[in-house]
Structure 1
Amino acid sequence: MASATQFINCRQCVSGSLISAPLTIDSKGFIIPNFPLSENTQIIDLENAIISPGFLELQINGALGFHFAHYSDPASYQAGVNKLAKYLPKTGVTGFYPTVPTVSSSVFKQVLPFLKPTENPGSASVLGAHVEGPFLAPSKKGAHDAANMHIPASSTLENIYGEKNLRESIKVLTMAPELPGALDHIAQLTKQYEVRVSMGHSAADYKQGNDGMKAGANLITHTFNAMNPLHHREPGLAGLISDPSPPYFSLIADAIHLHPRIVGIAYRSSPSHCILITDSIELSGLPDGTYPGHAQIPFNQFKEGNKVTIENTNTLIGTCIGLDECIRNLMAWAEIPIQEAVRCVTENVADAMGLKDRGRLEVGKRGDFVVLGVDGVVKETWILGKKGTSGD
């Protein structure tokens, strides 16, 4: 067995630039210095390919027919999580935050123990849960169930999620900062539980968004969607993205949730704080066609390409885009090369979430990387220095 593997003839995506340098990964799957090399180091020639750190997905609701909010029994739920983790490297994703929308407290407590950070060989890492609700503005509920929404001032975090889940499973939580008691919850989440707070599904004005950041929030969820529009006299949450010290902000670059020009404008407002997400639903990865609804969507669902609507209507349910396609869209819409676009699914996510072990191709970090064409097409995904699923 080789003591290390050195990848040569590769161009690494580093902070928006392409750097020609080898990448060396030890037998445990972590990046080590390129020199000196032990005698039994395996050499792999990548033939001038572009390599990026493994992609990090901050918001995904499901895929392959499985939704993180739908629980029937422990075995089938765990199998669903594992199936997604095995599937996602096809799109270049090596770590993800399974997202649970607004559900009852009992459902949160059923599913969250299965979403704490975990590793399986050859699979994307489960990085912990992204909880989207229930502290959201009913006027900006989108597809969320208003019947399960709560006012922060009248509900404790522990009662809603369970203290153990706050400590072990939840890593990011979307909340409307203007709700009564929200600022206290934001402060408690960030200081006591070290949970990142993202502002979204919110009718907050610009000042209320600023107050949320002062309380500890450092993200905005699917910017422009489920919030007040940017207005020349009242910029709202979206106005924060061009501040001198902006929050990190996520965008759904699918041409369904946002116009391509808006994506370009938002990216250029702060390339170092822009994050691409899919926010994809459970029909992602499935063939086009009609599918049955579920508890949240009690109608047949019609999937055509990335777009899912209620059957025989134009009512949007969600998107099925992959994170690799979001990158290619950003490249086209902002007119930027692949090395700049991948920051929005690697370094920026790691910085927003305080991840120390991934997001950059640096000594000491995980040997997770994606081999890419200049067009942003995923050719190979490597996890801990081992070749995983091909993107072909």
Structure 2
Amino acid sequence: MLASELMLFPDGPLRPGWVRIEGGVLTEVAESAPPAEADAVEGILAPGFVDVHCHGGAGAAFDDGPEAAETARQVHLAHGTTTMLASLVSDDPDRLLNTVQALVPLVHDGRFAGVHLEGPWLSPQRAGAHDPDLLSAPGARELEMLLATGVVEMVTLAPELPGGIEAIRRIADAGAVPAVGHTDATYEQTREALAAGARAATHLFNGMRGLQHREPGPAAAMMEDGEALLELIADGVHVHPAMLSWVHRSAPGRCLLITDAMSATGGCDGDYRLGRLDVRVEGGVPRLVDTGSIAGSTLTMDRAVRVAVTEAGFSREDALRAASAVPAALLRRQDVGQLTRGARADLIVLDHQLQVNRVLRAGTEVS
């Protein structure tokens, strides 16, 4: 049983509360005075973070097999991420299918909430840190084989590609999240994607046609939709804090923080790889050696929350929900991302500077 003077409830401001944990589940969540036997914690008691877009950490990438995936997961778990998708970069169809199949046991045993395919159905004009030689239009056969694994929870694609709208419909029908990203789509094409079932913008602004007064592009269409959720990389590099603040004010309750972290996360500056591409990290910022394009981040979710609060003007409540409840809603998960009765006992304790001091996953303390 844990009690705190500041606890993040599903709505409203931070306020006193307590939780009871039994069998890895929250069996009571209350605002009343806690029982005498409750363990009082200092700081903020919040649900564990949910990261729907992360590629690795600790020198390991999710593309490199189950052992590497577990190594990377542990880095983010230590920073408060208790639920995550394993994001994979573009690859050829056979290798991509093999990689997804290798991750199936880690999804089934609960270590990951599923797999996120970021490519290969991306625009060559907006490839970013994806190998252009591996990009293609979505093929029905390869899409069906990947969805048949049962663990694909999100797919990022460019809707303007041949077959893109049909692929969005199929992904949505399978119960996964179609996300618009790495796209040169127009405003009108993006609206068509939304009508077909697209539900999220992959790292809004990054890897997509820019926001212009005569061609609003994907960002404007996604922001005005009212239902679409908007990924933001709050590292102070990918998106200017003023833009983070503007999106947050313009689309309240629809912003979700992601890390887009690559294998260098938790490590030092130096040389790494992202898929088949060489990456150099300097000052904590990874860039492709060949083109200088930003190649993901070295972000952890707790730092994203701090940047959102200290540089972009998010309230602590809004930033914490953008890192937990909103991404959980994208995955249609009610058992994670919020402190409610019956939810999995994923808890973090943060100090008043929003540094993570304790992490519990399913009620078990993480060292």
2:86 is the counterpart of 1:90: no
Contact 2:4/2:41 (CA < 8 Å) preserved in 1?
yes
**Closer/same/farther in 2, CA of residues 246 and 369 from structure 1, 3 Å limit:** same
User: How far is the alpha carbon of 1:60 from its aligned partner?
Assistant: 0.8
User: How far is the alpha carbon of 1:19 from its aligned partner?
Assistant: 2.9
CA deviation vs aligned residue, 1:260-284 (integer Å, no higher than 9, x gap): 1111111211131101111111111
User: How far is the alpha carbon of 1:306 from its aligned partner?
Assistant: 2.2
Q: Which residue of 2 aligns with 1:44?
A: 39
The one of 352, 365, 385 equivalent to 2:363 is: 385
Q: Which residue of 2 aligns with 1:137?
A: 123
Q: Which runs of 5+ in 2 are unaligned?
A: none
Q: Which residue of 1 aligns with 2:63?
A: 69
Q: Distance in 2 between matches of 1:257 and 1:369?
A: 28
Q: Which residue of 1 aligns with 2:276?
A: 296
Q: Distance in 2 between matches of 1:113 and 1:126?
A: 13
Q: Which residue of 2 aligns with 1:102?
A: 90
Q: Which residue of 2 aligns with 1:176?
A: 158
Q: Distance in 1 between matches of 2:143 and 2:251?
A: 35
User: How far is the alpha carbon of 1:145 from its aligned partner?
Assistant: 1.7
The one of 333, 336, 341 equivalent to 2:311 is: 333
**Closer/same/farther in 2, CA of residues 376 and 204 from structure 1, 3 Å limit:** same
2:167 is the counterpart of 1:185: yes
SS of equivalent residue, structure 2 residue 295: strand
**Closer/same/farther in 2, CA of residues 22 and 293 from structure 1, 3 Å limit:** closer
Contact 1:278/1:326 (CA < 8 Å) preserved in 2?
yes
SS of equivalent residue, structure 2 residue 193: helix
**Closer/same/farther in 2, CA of residues 292 and 349 from structure 1, 3 Å limit:** closer
**Closer/same/farther in 2, CA of residues 291 and 166 from structure 1, 3 Å limit:** same
SS of equivalent residue, structure 1 residue 228: coil
Q: Which runs of 5+ in 1 are unaligned?
A: 1-5, 71-76
Contact 2:26/2:341 (CA < 8 Å) preserved in 1?
yes
User: How far is the alpha carbon of 1:118 from its aligned partner?
Assistant: 3.9
The one of 90, 112, 115 equivalent to 2:100 is: 112
The one of 28, 33, 39 equivalent to 2:28 is: 33
Amino acid at match of 1:98: A
Q: Distance in 1 between matches of 2:198 and 2:291?
A: 37
Equivalent residues, number: 360
Q: Distance in 2 between matches of 1:34 and 1:151?
A: 48
Amino acid at match of 1:214: A
CA deviation vs aligned residue, 1:126-157 (integer Å, no higher than 9, x gap): 111000111111111111122222223xx11x
Q: Distance in 2 between matches of 1:314 and 1:188?
A: 35
CA deviation vs aligned residue, 1:285-319 (integer Å, no higher than 9, x gap): 1122x32547622x4x4323321235698553332
**Closer/same/farther in 2, CA of residues 204 and 266 from structure 1, 3 Å limit:** same
User: How far is the alpha carbon of 1:161 from its aligned partner?
Assistant: 6.3
CA deviation vs aligned residue, 1:96-151 (integer Å, no higher than 9, x gap): 1111111011111111023342446xxxx311100011111111111112222222
The one of 231, 243, 248 equivalent to 1:250 is: 231
Amino acid at match of 2:142: N
SS of equivalent residue, structure 1 residue 126: coil
SS of equivalent residue, structure 2 residue 82: strand
Q: Which residue of 2 aligns with 1:73?
A: none
Q: Distance in 2 between matches of 1:228 and 1:134?
A: 18
Structure showing greater Rg: 1
Contact 1:16/1:343 (CA < 8 Å) preserved in 2?
no
Runs of 4+, deviation exceeding 4 Å: 292-295, 310-315
SS of equivalent residue, structure 2 residue 63: coil
Q: Distance in 2 between matches of 1:214 and 1:315?
A: 31
Between 174-183 and 213-222, report the one with greater CA deviation: 174-183
Q: What is the RMSD of the two structures over their aligned residues, measured on CA atoms?
A: 2.2
Contact 2:115/2:154 (CA < 8 Å) preserved in 1?
yes
Contact 2:263/2:272 (CA < 8 Å) preserved in 1?
no
Q: Which residue of 1 aligns with 2:112?
A: 126
**Closer/same/farther in 2, CA of residues 199 and 166 from structure 1, 3 Å limit:** farther
SS of equivalent residue, structure 1 residue 334: coil
Q: TM-score, normalised by structure 1?
A: 0.86
Amino acid at match of 2:310: A
Amino acid at match of 1:173: V
